[in-house]
Chain A
Amino acid sequence: MSNTVRVQPDLKFIQELQQVGGESLKKCYQCATCSVACPLSPADAPYPRKEMVWAQWGLKDRLLNDIDIWLCHNCGTCSDLCPRGAKPGDLLAALRNMAYRNLAKPSIIGTWMSSAKYLPLLMLIPALIYGFIWSMRAGVLGTAFPLFVAEGHELTVAPGGEVIFGGLFPGDYFIDPIFGAVFLFMVFCFAGGIARLLKSFEGMPRTFIVGRGPEPSFASCLIDTLKNEVAQHSRFKNCGEEEKDVQRVTGHLFVFYSFIALMVVTGVVATGHWFGAWFLEHIMGLEGGLVGLIAWAGHTPMPLWSPVKLLANAGAVGLVYGLMKLTSRRTSLDASKSTSNWYDWYLITVIWGIALTGIGSEVFRLLGQPVLAYPTYYLHLICVFMLLAYLPWSKLGHLVYRTVALAYARKIGRLPMGELK
């Protein structure tokens, strides 16, 4: 009896789980259809069957330290096949939602992110920040919808000029420092979340894999994970075989690579502006040649033929295409099998917001419509803020948590049955 484990049921935890997307969890009667059907479940202690009974008994400790919730890619095959309508896929999603809520500190943001009722508050923060900048600049410039004429680095308000967002919301003093600070805050909070996540995995048993040799380092596993699961979506592609699953992978790949494209654009702009124009040209006093090119590449607004702009536009189109795929899948889900929760809708809506306001800003800017262009850009800033600042507590947190968990699972040998050859 040396392996006797004390079971400590927690009724409150069950009720919490039911609130964040696992309302059907009590229906499970442990037939194990889910674990058999899952294309990604490992041979040892497969999920999601065990998570179902743990959830029914409210075994909080076990569920909060469970790496398997991250190995699941939520294809919903288990929920489709569940004879009792217990929706194991939804439960794992609910457990991930709990992790988003609790892993990163301060947990107050987790609470705000957990329910639609806090959405106004979450919007209000960036709305006030950028609203303040807008009104202050409007006072300085004498108009809330200015048109500018550019002379070198100097912008002058003049009728018949063009819409320049940087004129109303100056990057150097407002946009870049604020986003930079938000980014650092986010990274800092994430680091704490990752540390807690890794700590929770400490008790995981190691699976010996024949022929693999000594356990690989976490770093090498992380590289493998980035190469396969992240860059190629290798697990995701194996997750479900139906039309809707293919639709999901395609949509996700488009959104993922469009974001990468947009990140590259942002990177080029930042590098060009701060490194090229400011550091090299302004501080070091260098000029011409490569330095000029670097500075030019980061100068906004860009001409439409600029390769950077082309990449940005391609990213925007790809993003919309991917979002359409994902959204149409989500809206056509059979509610008796799988449901979408607040975390799902928050993320997809914010990304839609970024994509549409981003494209809208560009179009209205090119059309020279300040009254439409500036408010749209204002909304764009709010959406980007909402994606970036709250990232560790949103569903997008999976970008980091799942990557870490997959790498760790790789290290300890917890691999899907199909990958053990």
Chain B
Amino acid sequence: MAEKLGVYICSGCDIGTSLNVDELVDYAKKGKLAGITPVVKKSAVLCSPEGKAEIEADIKEHGLDGVVLCACSPRVKWDIFQFGAVQVERVNLREQCVWSYKEDPSVPNQLPLMAKDYIRMGMMKLSKSRIPTPDLPETFKTIMVLGGGFTGLNAALEAAKMGKDVVLVEKAAQLGGKAATMYKSFPLSAPYTTAEDTGIAGLIEAVNANPKIKVLVNAELKLLEGAPGLYTATVDAGGEQKLDIGAVVLATGWVPGDKSFLAPMGYGSIKNVITASEFEAMVKAGEIKRPSDGKAPASVAILTDVTLCTKDAVAAEPCPEGEAVAEAPAAAAAEGEAEAPAYPSTESAKHLAYSSELTSLVALKHAGYVREKLPNAAAYVLYDHMMVPGINERYYKAAQDEAGIMLSKASITGVTEDADGGVLIAAKDTLLGPDVEIKADLVVLPTAVVPTTAHEPVMNFAYRQGPGFPDLDVFDGFADSNYICFPYETRRTGVYAAGCVRQPMTMATAREDAAGAVLKAVQCIGSANRGVAVHPRSGDMSFPVFNFQRCTQCKRCTEECPFGALDDDEKGTPKPNPTRCRRCGTCMGACPERVISFDNYNIDQIGSTIKEVYVPDDMVTGGPRVIVLCCENDAYPALDMAGFRGKSWSPFVRFVPVRCLGSVNAIWVADAISKGVDGVIMLGCKYGADYQCHFVKGSELCSRRKTNIAESLGRLGVEAERVEQYEVSIDEYDKVPEIIDRFMSEVITKFGPNPFKGY
């Protein structure tokens, strides 16, 4: 607990001109925490070297262990306001107070009250905060790379280059993966105009020659026990062995998609219709031949528009999941997978569409093969989208320049067999006319990139939540958690995905991906070693502390933890694994007994902070009061930006930042309502399939828990509508004022004062 506070009120940036700072200083001196607050000062410019020097001098002179800085948002100047072991609480008087204040004519002059509320709240919050002292485990430093394909080999070499020991685990008898089965790759180097050798042989050689890399072939990861920095991996490589592992790079890649999804385009029924992977194998083997008669084709049509195959899958999307999935097993059953899979497959025809960037590039590459192997043959590429982002545009241009490669946009409407064994392709909306028919000797259809994690758990975690990654159906099996903000990160701390297991990608991209995932793995091992969080709260020293005496073994925390950080014993008592934890506080929000806390973020602390808000007894003369619990990753910055851009909103709301809406415990809402607060807004990020939550599920869990809160409120005779959750993304600063003001007018004006007010 911070027991000697210094409070500093800045008068720069419009604060001094909007508020009587001297009066605020006097106010803070006389508060109920006056006893532990020896220093209260005003500063002309707190962030100036003089301002900072004054704080540092006071810390020395008075032995302060916490400073409350009433100035700008904690999201700015955080690099200035650091004082070693002294805890810092930032009170946002600028963006969320003076800059965004809107005078309400019926209840004027609220700004000083608001500033006083925030100062009290800040002092209370800091007084309830402790400096965490994490365990410092001795961690294993070895990186395990799963998968010895192009990505895995690159990852192993990158890790070795950084001085790490590497264990490379490959399922097959040889290294090389898919790349070893390819004739050539898309361009990997300047001038990016011609397909080139994959370079896989050189990579394999380099890996085998590297003394830091231990290669295990014919090997499978049977079990991964423990936590990041402390893993024990059981690997079967002709006999089981246990390995000490720090972190894992997942590079198990992809498998060619189920070909039965290509049946609507003639695959299976027409002999001379083959898939891209079959074509690749044919060229790798030496020559291009028609399956029907073994003759060299005079024309090869490469189709990338797979709408015929995917339209059902896409149309099924809005349906309840059960129905959409119902079609896929029919196809799977046709292939004769007899045993009922314990791990539900997430493969569908949609993987054809997800692979479309690769499909475009493969089409260009295969057209090039035709020209290389058969100089008198023509290659027709019929595409719906030509996706050649970035430097690959050069490859596309080079293909266009080739006389024998003919390209047109087209929607394929049918593929049929001609009497002479040729294939007739019907297409509409082409560059050659609205409805055309083209005859080719051989047709190549795209191959879907299906991640290995769509079919198997792959990792075989010894985690309470199961052997695979959770909720991969959201990503159709791709081992990805939130690829826009956090590439490589999976839902399991310590495991970093790279290459096509994460997202269909080119080899050039996979090479960079491998390096990125290795950097993450290295960061993970280092962070675990220092007892701090890896990501996204990198460097956070706090960790959940359990008061097991009061735990009722309800298992909510172990089930709801988005990262599977908590295992449990037979009775259901949670067993924390701090190095798996991302410090979101979802467990704290879940716990009905409130036995989980962080030293610097806990139930009592936030509850007490909320209680510091002054609630006038008469709503008509004093105005209503609404608490906004806002996610500090999305909503809080959006509010800052709104203030920065001169937006303003009702002066009766008070913002309380939370680590994640998932950490919001129902007791906070109950505390607020029982104190007479008229409403509570929970402002979090978007959830659902395109979620933006840093902690994956926080916002979603909160909305589920809100239903329970509403029921409790109903029993107390309080309208459930007084507690609302809204979704904002970080860039929706313009919507925030509207959300707040609408809540004030629709909810508070409609229902009037909280019935508990004044009790």
Residues of chain A touching chain B, judged by Cβ–Cβ distance below 8 Å, are 1, 3-9, 11, 14-15, 18, 26-30, 53-54, 56-59
**Docked-complex contact B406 and A30, CB < 8 angstroms:** no
**Docked-complex contact B436 and A14, CB < 8 angstroms:** no
B376 within 8 Å of A (CB atoms): yes
Selecting from B61-69, B427-435, B552-560, B651-659, the interface stretch reads B427-435
Residues in B378-394 with C-beta less than 8 Å from chain A = 378, 380
**Docked-complex contact A3 and B400, CB < 8 angstroms:** no
Task: Return the chain B residue nearest A29 by Cβ.
Answer: B400
B426 within 8 Å of A (CB atoms): yes
Report, nearest first, the 8 A-B pairs whose CB atoms are least far apart.
Answer: A4-B435, A53-B431, A11-B378, A57-B406, A7-B438, A14-B403, A26-B401, A7-B436
Q: How far is the CB of A232 from chain B (nearest CB, A)?
A: 37
B407 within 8 Å of A (CB atoms): yes
**Docked-complex contact B437 and A5, CB < 8 angstroms:** yes
B734 within 8 Å of A (CB atoms): no
Q: How far is the CB of B320 from chain A (nearest CB, A)?
A: 36
Given A18-B403, A54-B432, A59-B432, A11:B376 Cβ within 8 A: yes
With a cutoff of 8 Å between Cβ atoms, the chain A residues found around residue B434 in the complex are: 3
B731 within 8 Å of A (CB atoms): no
**Docked-complex contact A53 and B408, CB < 8 angstroms:** yes
Residues of chain B touching chain A, judged by Cβ–Cβ distance below 8 Å, are 299, 376-378, 380, 397, 400-404, 406-408, 426, 431-439
| A30: contacting residue among B299, B404, B431, CB under 8 A | B431
The answer for the CA separation of A4 and B427 in the assembled complex, in Å, is 9
Q: How far is the CB of B674 from chain A (nearest CB, A)?
A: 67
With a cutoff of 8 Å between Cβ atoms, the chain B residues found around residue A3 in the complex are: 434-435
The answer for the CA separation of A6 and B432 in the assembled complex, in Å, is 10
**Docked-complex contact B403 and A26, CB < 8 angstroms:** yes
The answer for the CA separation of A3 and B435 in the assembled complex, in Å, is 7
**Docked-complex contact A53 and B432, CB < 8 angstroms:** yes
**Docked-complex contact B401 and A27, CB < 8 angstroms:** yes
The answer for the CA separation of A4 and B402 in the assembled complex, in Å, is 27
With a cutoff of 8 Å between Cβ atoms, the chain B residues found around residue A54 in the complex are: 432
**Docked-complex contact A6 and B439, CB < 8 angstroms:** yes
With a cutoff of 8 Å between Cβ atoms, the chain A residues found around residue B436 in the complex are: 4-7
**Docked-complex contact A9 and B437, CB < 8 angstroms:** no
**Docked-complex contact A56 and B406, CB < 8 angstroms:** yes
Known: A4-B437, A27-B397, A58-B378. 18 other contacts (CB 8 A): A1-B426, A1-B435, A4-B426, A6-B436, A6-B439, A7-B433, A7-B436, A7-B438, A9-B299, A9-B380, A11-B377, A28-B400, A29-B400, A30-B431, A56-B406, A56-B407, A57-B408, A59-B432
| B406: contacting residue among A1, A5, A9, CB under 8 A | A9
With a cutoff of 8 Å between Cβ atoms, the chain B residues found around residue A28 in the complex are: 400
Task: Return the chain B residue nearest A62 by Cβ.
Answer: B432
The answer for the CA separation of A3 and B427 in the assembled complex, in Å, is 12
With a cutoff of 8 Å between Cβ atoms, the chain A residues found around residue B432 in the complex are: 5, 7, 53-54, 57, 59
The answer for the CA separation of A56 and B432 in the assembled complex, in Å, is 10
| B433: contacting residue among A5, A29, A30, CB under 8 A | A5
**Docked-complex contact A15 and B426, CB < 8 angstroms:** no
**Docked-complex contact B426 and A26, CB < 8 angstroms:** no
With a cutoff of 8 Å between Cβ atoms, the chain B residues found around residue A1 in the complex are: 426, 435
The answer for the CA separation of A30 and B407 in the assembled complex, in Å, is 11
With a cutoff of 8 Å between Cβ atoms, the chain A residues found around residue B426 in the complex are: 1, 4
Q: How far is the CB of B665 from chain A (nearest CB, A)?
A: 58
What are 10 residue pairs bridging A and B, where the CB atoms are less than 8 Å apart in the complex? A3-B434, A5-B432, A5-B433, A5-B437, A6-B438, A9-B406, A26-B401, A54-B432, A56-B407, A58-B378
Q: How far is the CB of B633 from chain A (nearest CB, A)?
A: 42
With a cutoff of 8 Å between Cβ atoms, the chain B residues found around residue A6 in the complex are: 436-439
The answer for the CA separation of A3 and B432 in the assembled complex, in Å, is 13
Task: Return the chain A residue nearest B435 by Cβ.
Answer: A4
With a cutoff of 8 Å between Cβ atoms, the chain A residues found around residue B401 in the complex are: 26-27
Q: How far is the CB of B178 from chain A (nearest CB, A)?
A: 31
Of B380, B397, B406, chain A has the most CB atoms within 10 Å of the CB of B406
Q: How far is the CB of A404 from chain B (nearest CB, A)?
A: 27
With a cutoff of 8 Å between Cβ atoms, the chain B residues found around residue A14 in the complex are: 403-404
Task: Return the chain A residue nearest B403 by Cβ.
Answer: A14
With a cutoff of 8 Å between Cβ atoms, the chain B residues found around residue A53 in the complex are: 408, 431-432
The answer for the CA separation of A168 and B431 in the assembled complex, in Å, is 63
With a cutoff of 8 Å between Cβ atoms, the chain B residues found around residue A57 in the complex are: 406, 408, 432
Q: How far is the CB of B401 from chain A (nearest CB, A)?
A: 5
**Docked-complex contact A27 and B403, CB < 8 angstroms:** no
Given A53-B408, A57-B408, A11:B403 Cβ within 8 A: yes
Task: Return the chain A residue nearest B299 by Cβ.
Answer: A9
The answer for the CA separation of A11 and B431 in the assembled complex, in Å, is 18
**Docked-complex contact A26 and B402, CB < 8 angstroms:** yes
Of A3, A6, A11, chain B has the most CB atoms within 10 Å of the CB of A11
The answer for the CA separation of A101 and B72 in the assembled complex, in Å, is 81
The answer for the CA separation of A1 and B428 in the assembled complex, in Å, is 9
Task: Return the chain A residue nearest B402 by Cβ.
Answer: A26
**Docked-complex contact B376 and A7, CB < 8 angstroms:** no
With a cutoff of 8 Å between Cβ atoms, the chain B residues found around residue A56 in the complex are: 406-407
Q: How far is the CB of A49 from chain B (nearest CB, A)?
A: 9
The answer for the CA separation of A58 and B378 in the assembled complex, in Å, is 10
The answer for the CA separation of A8 and B438 in the assembled complex, in Å, is 7
**Docked-complex contact A11 and B437, CB < 8 angstroms:** no
**Docked-complex contact B437 and A26, CB < 8 angstroms:** no
Of B378, B380, B402, B432, chain A has the most CB atoms within 10 Å of the CB of B432
**Docked-complex contact A11 and B404, CB < 8 angstroms:** yes
Q: How far is the CB of A286 from chain B (nearest CB, A)?
A: 68
With a cutoff of 8 Å between Cβ atoms, the chain B residues found around residue A29 in the complex are: 400
With a cutoff of 8 Å between Cβ atoms, the chain A residues found around residue B438 in the complex are: 6-7, 9
| A26: contacting residue among B376, B400, B431, B433, CB under 8 A | B400
The answer for the CA separation of A14 and B377 in the assembled complex, in Å, is 13
Of B299, B431, B438, chain A has the most CB atoms within 10 Å of the CB of B431
Task: Return the chain A residue nearest B298 by Cβ.
Answer: A11
Q: How far is the CB of A372 from chain B (nearest CB, A)?
A: 51
Q: How far is the CB of A84 from chain B (nearest CB, A)?
A: 8
With a cutoff of 8 Å between Cβ atoms, the chain B residues found around residue A8 in the complex are: 439
Given A53-B408, A57-B408, A5:B435 Cβ within 8 A: yes
Q: How far is the CB of A48 from chain B (nearest CB, A)?
A: 14
Task: Return the chain A residue nearest B406 by Cβ.
Answer: A57
The answer for the CA separation of A26 and B403 in the assembled complex, in Å, is 7
The answer for the CA separation of A9 and B397 in the assembled complex, in Å, is 20
Q: How far is the CB of A169 from chain B (nearest CB, A)?
A: 50
With a cutoff of 8 Å between Cβ atoms, the chain A residues found around residue B402 in the complex are: 26
The answer for the CA separation of A54 and B299 in the assembled complex, in Å, is 17
Task: Return the chain A residue nearest B400 by Cβ.
Answer: A26
Q: How far is the CB of B298 from chain A (nearest CB, A)?
A: 9
Task: Return the chain B residue nearest A17 by Cβ.
Answer: B403
The answer for the CA separation of A396 and B198 in the assembled complex, in Å, is 54
Q: How far is the CB of B242 from chain A (nearest CB, A)?
A: 58
With a cutoff of 8 Å between Cβ atoms, the chain B residues found around residue A11 in the complex are: 376-378, 403-404
With a cutoff of 8 Å between Cβ atoms, the chain A residues found around residue B435 in the complex are: 1, 3-5
The answer for the CA separation of A341 and B397 in the assembled complex, in Å, is 25
Of A3, A4, A29, A54, chain B has the most CB atoms within 10 Å of the CB of A4
With a cutoff of 8 Å between Cβ atoms, the chain B residues found around residue A27 in the complex are: 397, 400-401
Task: Return the chain B residue nearest A3 by Cβ.
Answer: B435
Q: How far is the CB of A39 from chain B (nearest CB, A)?
A: 24
Task: Return the chain A residue nearest B376 by Cβ.
Answer: A11
